[in-house]
Amino acid sequence: MVPSDTIAQHFRLAMPVAAALRKIGITTIHDLLYHFPARYDQGGTESSIAGLSIGQATIFGTIHALETKKSWKRKIPVGEAKLRDASGSIKIMWFHQPYVVKKFSEGMFVKASGMVSGKDGSLYLANPHIEPADPIETGIFAATPENTDAPIFPVYPESRGVSSLWFRHALKRVLNAGAHGIEDPIPSAIREKYRLPSLDTALVWIHAPERLSHAEAARKRFAFEEMFVLQIQKALDRLENDTRTAFPVNEGEKFARTFLKSLPFRSTHAQQRAIHDILRDFKKQHPMARLLEGDVGSGKTAVAAATAYAIVNSRPPERTSGTLQIAYMAPTEILAQQHFQSFIEYFKNLPINIALMTGSGCKKFPSKAHRHKATSISRAQLLKWIANGEIAMLVGTHALIQKSVVFQHLAYCIVDEQHRFGTRQRAALLQKPSPMHAKPVPHFLSMTATPIPRTLALTMYGDLDLSILDELPPGRTTITTEIVRSSHRTQAYERMRSELKKGRQAYVVCPRIEEPDPQKEHAVQAKSAKAEAARLQKDIFPEYEIGLLHGAMKPAEKDAVMARFACGKTHVLVATSVVEVGINVPNATVILIEGAERFGLAQLHQLRGRVQRSSHPPMCFLVSDTASHTSTTRLRALAHSSDGFKLAEIDLKTRGAGDLWGKKQWGISDIGMDALQNIRLIRAAREEATRVVQSDPHLTNHRALRARISSLAEKLHEE
């Protein structure tokens, strides 16, 4: 049996099983071995959480969701937390000593002893004694005292057609067959340093553990492995980037200064720092690879424009005419359109051509007939002008990465909201075919307003240098954020009406597009944008025009709706979270979000950013009837903090990464997502990976690692 063998070579598969395996992407023995249980069941042990019953217990696990509150019945202060092990989680309550929670931190590994109380189904550990058990110093991987008599059953992620039992049997056979032939990608020195079990041991421990502590140790190991391999990839990317050449742009500062002087406002210090970072990178031999992170309204576009200005004022080497070219990619047509307009405005005094390319058409500025207007042109014509260098700046959507789009001197790629593009699309943009033989690689700037936790940034953007806009332009008043019960919605509407009377505009955001099917039992009861738009028009704001925007609309329809709202004809825009991405209507000052508890905090923060675009004091109403303490606490955090990155960290702690930053989007497994809770693990994986790549850039002495990296690359290619 070798890891690349297909499962069908060794197992007789019933049709539904074969189909189910294919559907979850398991074809080889290697895939099977790396399909991990979601949790474990164990019959009646005291020390695994799943097996707890009322009485004294000692449990090893990690602490989560620490909070203090008043018990609602007796009004006494309590500290609360969750204790989690491989089998499940249990609530911890410290009555009369809420301050205890301060002694612990999220994700801490501890030994908890105390009384299990409550009712079956809602057990909790009352006033337990807790000792920190540092996983690195005391060894999370040491055996923990537990009942080893009770058998442990791995439970695999739910998938129709193939049961946990099937996986248990299949894996037992594979593991019993002896050598499975997979080499350990983690070098032994690193394994020893972090006390990680070897691959052989960990595979047995994760699929057929005799102790839950073994399963936990194995999961940590695979989490480390995944992050380590990812970081090796990022380190290799950085190394490769440094071997490429870019168009050097040496006089950037001069042009950027001229540009900044032409603006009606003074750039913030943060903007100046970011511009400086970028211009410094432009002077280097190798292309820039940089991420610009900044809250909505922090002025990222101005940074992009100032640096783009430096590029379009630079001549290609050994040329007397034409300029270097820029590609600016936005996630939606609306945004591409908006940025096209902004750049026309920014560059109107320059003798350069700017073009727009989206799925629904192409435009060029200036038009031959009207010096101050853009005109529609054919795609074929635009492609020609891009290829011969006449277009200095091309703004667009995904349409830009099509093969037919060939630049003459593409020197700078800017991608707005990169997380909406896959890694592969980014590669496609940077490797735009160019007729020149020794082709320089464009400088790359990715911009995002999506606040993501530090661990996720280090993991997913580990190959990029970072500039942060941590300062909003002056004069923006801070937003008032209020939590409103639905019974008080009318008051919120009245305050909205008084803004509308002043000539301002408003957004109403709903969690869904359509009404749920009432026939369906579990239909989510949430406001739908369609029904809400109709209701507001008829019953609440008959004197105003209500618009409707949602993701299921055609791009042209969306554009029309946005255009009406942007010019003020529509007063209230009812929308789904599609408005989250960078739409800029400075006259909008109120946003009301229905079912607010359904959204992530970072997302809510982005949504309210829609009304922080002007100097009028903005307002945000979060409508929620949630009874959940955690939800209320989360929403309050939003009312109190205006720091998107802090909110993202709170999201990560209270809801977990998988829930919020769809793991599909990042291509990280469940175990990997759990690892994002652990900054120490992420840092360690990154440091070790950097060291390995520095000492062995071709991974000549790390064969298993090299194999893993090339299979990663293959997967990316197939996507």
Query: Using CB under 5 A as the criterion, which residues of the chain lie in contact with Mg ion when the complex forms?
Result: 301, 582
Measured distance CA(156)–CA(152) in Å, rounded: 13
Q: Which is nearer to ligand ADP, 220 or 339 (CB)?
A: 339
292 or 410: CB nearest ligand ADP:
292
CA dist., res. 646 & res. 683, Å (int) = 19
Establish if 271 lies at the interface with ligand ADP (CB under 6 A).
yes
Among ligand ADP, Mg ion, none, the one that 271 touches (CB under a kind-dependent 5 to 8 A) is ligand ADP
Rounded least distance, CB 581 to ligand ADP, Å: 10
Q: Is 473 in the site for ligand ADP (CB under 6 A)?
A: yes
Q: Which stretch binds ligand ADP (CB under 6 A): 21-29, 54-62, 209-217, 299-307?
A: 299-307
Q: How many residues bind ligand ADP (CB under 6 A)?
A: 18
Instruction: Report which of 612, 593, 616 is spatially closest to residue 603, judged by C-alpha positions.
Output: 593
Rule CB under 6 A: is residue 265 a binding residue for ligand ADP? yes
CB 417 within 8 A of CB 448: yes
What phi and psi, each to the nearest 5 degrees, are found at residue 432? -50, 125
User: Which of 672, 706, 719, 690 has its CA nearest to residue 227?
Assistant: 672
The two three-digit tokens of residue 293, written as one number: 């992170």
Tokens 């937390």, residue located: 81
Rule CB under 6 A: say whether 618 interacts with ligand ADP.
no
Kindly indicate which of the ranges 295-303, 310-318, 616-624, 673-681 contains the residues binding ligand ADP, using the contact rule CB under 6 A.
295-303
What is the closest distance, in whole angstroms, from the C-beta atom of residue 603 to Mg ion in the complex?
Answer: 16
Task: Say if CB 510 and CB 527 are below 8 A apart.
Answer: yes
CB closer to ligand ADP out of 270 and 675: 270
Task: Give 141 or 346: the residue with its C-beta nearer to ligand ADP.
Answer: 346
Residue 613 in contact with ligand ADP, rule: CB under 6 A: yes
Q: How far is the CB of 444 from Mg ion (least distance, A)?
A: 17
Nearer to Mg ion, 453 or 582 (CB): 582
Cis peptide before 366 (omega within 30 of 0): yes
Q: How far apart are CA 715 and CA 717, in angstroms?
A: 5
What are the tokens at 117?
A: 């109380």
Q: Evaluate whether 412 touches 307 at the Cβ level (below 8 Å).
A: yes
**Closer CB to ligand ADP, 358 or 612, in the complex:** 612
Given CA atoms 334, 449, 665, 526 in this order, what sign does their dihedral have?
negative
In the complex with ligand ADP, the residue whose CB is nearer, 206 or 449, is 449
Work out whether 302 is an interface residue with ligand ADP (CB under 6 A): yes
Handedness of CA 174, 180, 186, 189 (dihedral sign): positive
Q: Considering CB distances under 5 to 8 angstroms, the limit depending on partner class, which of Mg ion, ligand ADP, none binds residue 294?
A: ligand ADP
Beta carbon nearer to ligand ADP, 323 or 584: 584
Structure tokens at 288: 């820039």
Which among 176-184, 261-269, 650-658, 665-673 is the span making contact with ligand ADP, rule CB under 6 A? 261-269
Q: Contacting ligand ADP (CB under 6 A), which of 234, 300, 409, 686?
A: 300
How far apart CA 133 and CA 131 sit, in angstroms, is: 6
Is residue 294 close enough to count as binding ligand ADP by CB under 6 A?
Answer: yes
Tokens of 367: 């038009």
Nearer to Mg ion, 301 or 467 (CB): 301
CB of 564 to Mg ion, least distance (A): 21
Which amino acid, 427? A
677 binds ligand ADP (CB under 6 A): no
Quick count: other Cβ atoms within 10 Å of Cβ 254?
A: 12
Instruction: Choose which of 37, 185, 297, 451 interacts with ligand ADP (CB under 6 A).
Output: 297
Partner from Mg ion, ligand ADP, none contacting 95, C-beta within 5 to 8 A by type: none
Judged by beta carbon, residue 299 or residue 331, the one nearer ligand ADP is 299
Taking CB under 6 A as the criterion, which residues in 556-585 touch ligand ADP?
A: 582, 584
Note whether 301 binds ligand ADP by CB under 6 A.
Answer: yes
- Whether the CB-CB separation of 37 and 82 falls below 8 Å is answered with no
Residue 299 touches ligand ADP, criterion: CB under 6 A: yes
C-alpha 570/C-alpha 562 separation (Å) is 9
The rounded distance, in Å, linking the Cα atoms of 161 and 15 is: 9
> Which residue's CB is nearer to ligand ADP, number 232 or number 469?
469
Distance CA 415, CA 66 (A): 38
- Of 259-267, 351-359, 361-369, 383-391: span binding ligand ADP (CB under 6 A): 259-267
DSSP output for 326-352:
EEEE-SSHHHHHHHHHHHHHHTTTSS-
185 binds ligand ADP, rule: CB under 6 A: no
Q: Torsions phi, psi of 86, nearest 5?
A: -65, -20
Q: What angle do CA 3, 6, 12 make, to 5 degrees?
A: 125
Q: How many CA atoms lie less than 13 Å away from 111 in the CB half-sphere?
A: 14
The number of CA neighbours under 13 Å toward the Cβ of 563 is: 9
Rounded least distance, CB 304 to ligand ADP, Å: 8
Binds 297: which of Mg ion, ligand ADP, none (CB < 5-8 Å by kind): ligand ADP
Using left for φ > 0, alpha for ψ between -120 and 50, and beta otherwise, residue 471 falls in: beta
Token pair recorded at residue 191: 């394994």
Nearer to Mg ion, 340 or 621 (CB): 340
Does residue 434 touch ligand ADP according to CB under 6 A? no
Q: Which two tokens stand for residue 308?
A: 């783009």
Which lies closer to Mg ion via its Cβ, residue 33 or residue 648? 648
Residue 603 near which of ligand ADP, Mg ion, none (CB within 5-8 Å, type-dependent): none
- Choose among 263, 198, 265, 253: nearest CA to 225: 198
**How large is the greatest C-alpha to C-alpha distance in the chain, in angstroms?**
86
**Which residue, 297 or 462, has its beta carbon nearer to ligand ADP?**
297
Gyration radius (Cα) of the chain, Å: 28
Angstrom distance (rounded) from CA 638 to CA 557: 33
Each residue 90-129 as x (binds ligand ADP by CB under 6 A) or -, in order, gives ----------------------------------------
Q: Does 298 bind ligand ADP (CB under 6 A)?
A: yes
Residue 296 contact partner, candidates ligand ADP, Mg ion, none, CB within 5 to 8 A by sort of partner: ligand ADP
CB of 370 to ligand ADP, least distance (A): 25
Q: How far apart are the first and last CA of the chain?
A: 27
Sole window of 105-113, 175-183, 297-305, 320-328 interacting with ligand ADP (rule: CB under 6 A): 297-305
Tokens 């239909």 map to which residue? 523
| Of 364, 457, 464, residue with least CA distance to 413 | 464
Binding window for ligand ADP (CB under 6 A); candidates: 1-9, 266-274, 346-354, 688-696: 266-274
Sign of CA dihedral 681, 687, 690, 696: negative
For the bound state, the minimum distance from the C-beta of residue 395 to Mg ion, rounded and expressed in Å, comes to: 13
Residue 267 interacts with ligand ADP (CB under 6 A)?
yes
Two structure tokens written together for 573 = 């825009």
**Segment contacting ligand ADP (CB under 6 A): 296-304, 495-503, 573-581, 690-698?**
296-304
* Residue 300 Cβ vs Mg ion, minimum distance, rounded to whole Å: 5
User: Closest CB to ligand ADP among 364 and 610?
Assistant: 610
Contact positions toward ligand ADP, by CB under 6 A?
265-268, 271, 294, 296-302, 449, 473, 582, 584, 613
